[in-house]
């Protein structure tokens, strides 16, 4: 075993680590280098980075501009605390973000990543209702299969079954609505009918809880790690308007969809015609090079809880690295690259090609659904040919994504397996030729997986 694998097995616990195999994973990839849209493992294998790290390497690997900006900032001002002072880099970054957010979302709060952004946004809503004399507004609406983070609050509003059951969460005030995925609701004739059902479900839930008791709805415009679920047309806008009409805040969690993934700095307004009260962001803001997250909140929201309305109150929430200059400098450098290299235009050009080419995989019987938008997509496998108990089917289902991923490695592609889904969110610099490589590797991997299933008598 390589030295790195040995050390991994002896000392590391990874996020979502597989506990029965703790200390015994002899095949984990050791990634040592990145360049453009590719990463390299220690055996020298070159892999197209299908998930762009973790939805975050917008401008790709090996960006000297970002390295230089970080180095310059370290020498000029390595740290400053936003608890008591400000610095020119956080100020400029906040101004740039405000210039791209919808409506009057002009006030920016910086955090250390997506989970802390979600946590901070939810805590801001709690504070706002307490200040406004509505402390009973505690209920939070979210969706099945949503992912909003790993802090206690972020995990509490996360709807992924396996994650919810593992550790204690804040249960009493959190309510899960249906995942807006039509593939999983074939009983509806049309997308419009399905959308009506979802909005009615939302209205019913608000009525059941009492509108005056509901604090907010939090929603990813496109569910990301829950399997890249693109909701029916108009769903996001209708959810937002439905809750706001009852004085309930709408938080769009754009940790994945912001900073170009759907071809815009933010997707809420430009793609989904939605005007949230708060937008959370992270990941792609620095192109993944250093951690940074935050939220943008509307002036209207803040007016109600500042000035004379907020006597004696403070927003007691923040992090040592909130607005720290080094990550903000990395974010400005990544922003400049996106602008200078017209990377949003690339997403508009290559994104539709990526979606169209991936959909050609639907002719493989193992493929149940291919879905996505912009530079995020998922291929969902189905065992519809398999006859077995539900438990048996589920167990097999759990392994398929990983089986496909293993074969993808052989063909120079990394994807992100999640149960029976392979998720892709490539760097935004992807070319059409790289899309062709990606789809070909996927096709070969899916066909070999299907062969294996046939040999095992499962298909
Ligand atoms: N929200 C969404 C939509 C996410 O996808 C993620 C991370 N995958 C988070 C929040 C949490 O972000 P982080 O891992 O930076 O804490």
pLDDT, one tens digit per residue, over 180-203 is 999 999 899 999 999 999 999 999
For residue 18, what pLDDT is reported?
87
Beta 46-49 vs 413-414: how paired, if at all?
A: parallel
Burial annotation 161-194 (CB, 10 A radius, 16+ → b, else e): eeebeeeebeeebbbbbbbbbbebeeeeeeeeeb
**Average pLDDT of 155-172?**
86
Q: How far is the CA of 329 from the centre of ligand 1 (A)?
A: 21
CATH 3.40.630.30 fits 36-59+342-455, yes or no: no
Give the residue range(s) of CATH 3.90.1150.10 domains in the chain: 36-59+342-455
Q: Is pLDDT above 60 for 362?
A: yes
Q: Residue 455 contacts by C-beta under 8 Å, 6 or more apart in sequence? A: none
For residue 260, what pLDDT is reported?
98
Q: How far is the CA of 285 from the centre of ligand 1 (A)?
A: 12
16, 149, 256: residue to mutate for ligand 1 pocket, most atoms within 8 A of CB:
149
pLDDT-wise least confident of 271-285, 336-350, 385-399:
385-399
pTM: 0.97
Q: Is 443 helix (H, G, I), strand (E, B) or coil?
A: helix
Q: How far is the CA of 307 from the centre of ligand 1 (A)?
A: 32
Binned at pLDDT 50, 70 and 90, residue 333 comes out as: very high
Angle between helices 343-359 and 432-455 in degrees, nearest 10: 30
Q: How far is the CA of 254 from the centre of ligand 1 (A)?
A: 9
What is the rounded CA–CA span in Å between residue 220 and residue 373? 13
Q: How far is the CA of 135 from the centre of ligand 1 (A)?
A: 28
Q: Judge if the beta carbon of residue 142 lies within 6 A of ligand 1.
A: no
Alpha-carbon distances, residue 62 vs 37, 66, 72, 224, 287 (angstroms): 10, 9, 17, 25, 11
For residue 166, what pLDDT is reported?
77
Give the residue range(s) of CATH 3.40.640.10 domains in the chain: 65-340
- Please report the atom of ligand 1 found closest to the CA of residue 257: 3
Binned at pLDDT 50, 70 and 90, residue 148 comes out as: very high
For residue 389, what pLDDT is reported?
59
pLDDT-wise least confident of 5-9, 382-386, 405-409:
382-386
Q: Is pLDDT above 90 for 394?
A: no
Binned at pLDDT 50, 70 and 90, residue 267 comes out as: very high
Looking at this predicted complex, what is its ipTM?
0.99
Binned at pLDDT 50, 70 and 90, residue 1 comes out as: confident
Backbone angles phi, psi at 125, to 5 degrees: -65, -40
Phi-psi region of 313 (alpha: psi -120 to 50; beta: other; left: phi over 0): beta
163, 283, 293: residue to mutate for ligand 1 pocket, most atoms within 8 A of CB:
283
Backbone angles phi, psi at 130, to 5 degrees: -65, -45
Q: Is pLDDT above 70 for 386?
A: no
For residue 385, what pLDDT is reported?
64
- Other C-beta atoms closer than 10 Å to the C-beta of 356 total 11
**Segment 101-133, tens digit of pLDDT:** 999 999 999 999 999 999 999 999 999 999 999
Q: Residue 147 contacts by C-beta under 8 Å, 6 or more apart in sequence? A: 158, 159, 160, 163, 220, 223, 224, 225, 226
For residue 174, what pLDDT is reported?
97
Q: Judge if the beta carbon of residue 282 lies within 6 A of ligand 1.
A: yes
Q: Is pLDDT above 80 for 356?
A: yes
Q: Is pLDDT above 70 for 396?
A: no
**Average pLDDT of 302-328?**
96
Q: Please state, rounded to an integer, the average pLDDT across all residues of the chain.
A: 95
In the numeric block, which tokens belong to residue 113? Answer: 């990543």
Q: How far is the CA of 235 from the centre of ligand 1 (A)?
A: 22
CATH placement of domain 65-340? 3.40.640.10
**Average pLDDT of 376-391?**
78
Q: Judge if the beta carbon of residue 118 lies within 6 A of ligand 1.
A: yes
Q: Judge if the beta carbon of residue 325 lies within 6 A of ligand 1.
A: no
Q: Is pLDDT above 70 for 87?
A: yes
Q: Are 275 and 302 in contact (CB under 8 A)?
A: no
For residue 343, what pLDDT is reported?
98
**Segment 399-447, tens digit of pLDDT:** 889 999 999 999 999 999 988 999 999 999 999 999 999 999 999 999 9
**Segment 42-82, tens digit of pLDDT:** 999 999 999 999 999 999 999 999 999 999 999 999 999 99
């Amino acid at each position: 075993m390589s030295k790195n694998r040995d050390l991994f097995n002896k000392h590391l616990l990874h996020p979502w680590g597989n506990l029965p195999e703790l200390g015994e994973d002899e095949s984990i990839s050791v990634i040592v280098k990145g360049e453009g849209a590719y990463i390299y493992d220690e055996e020298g294998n070159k892999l197209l980075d299908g998930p762009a790290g973790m939805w975050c390497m917008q401008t790709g690997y090996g960006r000297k501009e970002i390295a230089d900006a970080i180095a310059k900032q370290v020498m000029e001002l390595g740290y400053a605390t936003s608890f008591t002072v400000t610095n020119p880099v956080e100020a400029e970054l906040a101004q740039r973000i405000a210039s791209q957010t919808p409506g009057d979302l002009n006030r920016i709060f910086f955090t250390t990543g997506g989970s802390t952004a979600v946590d901070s946004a939810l805590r801001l809503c709690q504070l706002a209702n307490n200040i406004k004399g509505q402390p009973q507004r505690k209920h939070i609406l979210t969706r099945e299969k949503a992912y909003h983070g790993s802090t206690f609050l972020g995990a509490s509003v996360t709807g992924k079954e396996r994650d919810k059951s593992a550790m204690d969460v804040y249960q009493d005030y959190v309510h899960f609505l249906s995942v807006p995925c039509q593939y999983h609701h074939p009983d509806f004739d049309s997308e419009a009918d399905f959308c009506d059902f979802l909005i009615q479900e939302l209205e019913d839930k608000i009525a059941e809880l009492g509108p005056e008791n509901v604090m907010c709805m939090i929603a990813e415009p496109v569910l990301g790690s829950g399997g890249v679920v693109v909701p029916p047309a108009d769903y996001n806008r209708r959810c937002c308007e439905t809750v706001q009409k009852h004085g309930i805040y709408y938080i769009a969690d754009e940790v994945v969809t912001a900073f170009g993934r759907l071809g815009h700095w933010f997707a809420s307004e430009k793609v989904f015609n939605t005007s949230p009260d708060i937008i959370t962001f992270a990941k792609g803001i620095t192109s993944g090079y250093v951690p940074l997250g935050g939220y943008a909140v509307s002036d209207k929201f803040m007016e109600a809880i500042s000035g004379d309305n907020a006597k004696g109150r403070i927003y007691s929430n923040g992090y040592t690295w909130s607005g720290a200059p080094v990550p903000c400098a990395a974010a400005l450098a990544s922003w400049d690259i996106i602008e200078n290299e017209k990377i949003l235009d690339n997403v508009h050009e290559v994104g539709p090609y990526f979606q169209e080419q991936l959909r050609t995989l639907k002719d493989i019987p193992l493929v149940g659904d291919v879905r996505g938008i912009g530079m995020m997509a998922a291929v969902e496998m189905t065992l519809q040919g398999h006859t077995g108990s539900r438990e048996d089917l589920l167990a097999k289902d759990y392994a398929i994504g990983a089986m496909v991923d293993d074969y993808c490695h052989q063909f120079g592609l990394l994807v992100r397996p999640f149960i029976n889904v392979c998720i892709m969110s490539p760097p935004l610099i992807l070319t059409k030729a790289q899309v062709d490589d990606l789809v070909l590797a996927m096709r070969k991997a899916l066909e070999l997986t299907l062969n294996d299933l046939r040999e095992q008598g499962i298909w």
